[in-house]
Amino acid sequence: MRINLAEKLMSEVSGASSRSALFTALENATRHMSFDHFALVYDDCRASNENDAFLVHDYPPEWARVYQSLGLATQDPVRRTCERSFTSFPWGVSREFTGAVRGDHKILGLSREYGIGDGFTVPRHLPGGVTGSCTFVVRPDAALPVEMLQVADLLGGVALASARKIAWLHMSASSPGLTDRQRECLLWWGRGKTAAEIAIIMGLSVETVHQHLKLARERYGVDASQSVLACAIAEGLIGPGDIWRWFRTRPGIAVTG
């Protein structure tokens, strides 16, 4: 029965193509899993405004106002646990991950006053400065629906993937991007090759390689190729593994760790 429910809810959440559609799908899923509220945040370093995180939630409005006005994000023990955990966790064990600090009990006690009881959080971290979490909570007088935590774990991951897709559609519209040739030149440059070596590898002239790298810098409005490489990695055009695996597999090179 729970398998069928999980498949149905994940299908609805993964099919969301807008912020409002994702809100509706998560709101429906929250009720079906016997939770009372949800909150999803997806924070991408590529966003134009560092404070413009992708956020959807149906927390009590008064708690959202208090949380924001008092700046509790920097003190939130659940958020602190998210930054250090690769696995989902019920709030009851969050102290086990983070270690209690002064103010934790006060914040959790305050949240209960505004209708937030226990919760279950699914964190995600991706290379390039992308972090996110999807949380399902119950009201203060209710217990976590333990039988639904596996479903919540799966659903939280799917919800964050949908948020990433929606956010990416918005950001990619203004992204300068790179041509295939620019990307390949930049990739070989990141692997430590000179323009002359890149020219031989790609069958181009040295001048053409310089031109590709120059145009790549201009697309991102930066002066150094190091900055272009960082931008390309952040946007996912080049993965850290594209560079690291190449070093590991070179003949005669032994990399430990």
Residue pLDDT, tens place only, 75-132: 888 888 888 888 999 997 554 545 556 677 888 889 999 999 999 999 998 765 678 9
> Can you give the pLDDT at residue 224?
79
- Residue whose C-alpha is closest to residue 123's, from 175, 84, 88: 88
Report pLDDT for 198.
95
CATH 3.30.1490.20 fits 2-172, yes or no: no
Q: What is the pLDDT of residue 144?
A: 95
**In the chain, which segments carry CATH 3.30.450.80?**
2-172
Q: Where in the chain is the domain with CATH 1.10.10.10?
A: 180-248
Pseudo-torsion of CA 49, 53, 59, 62, nearest 10°? -20
pLDDT at 251: 60
For residue 149 the two structure tokens come to 């935590």
Summarize pLDDT for 184-237 with one digit per residue, the tens: 999 998 888 999 999 999 999 999 999 999 998 888 888 877 788 887 876 777
**pLDDT, tens digit, for every residue of 124-181?**
987 656 789 999 999 999 999 999 999 999 999 999 999 988 887 655 445 567 889 9
Positive or negative: CA dihedral 236, 238, 244, 249: positive
The answer to whether the Cα torsion of 85, 87, 91, 94 is positive or negative is: negative
Which CATH number does the domain 180-248 belong to among 1.10.10.10, 3.40.50.300, 1.20.1440.130, 3.40.50.1110?
A: 1.10.10.10
**Model pLDDT, residue 129:** 62
Residues 230 and 242: their CA atoms lie apart, in Å, by 13
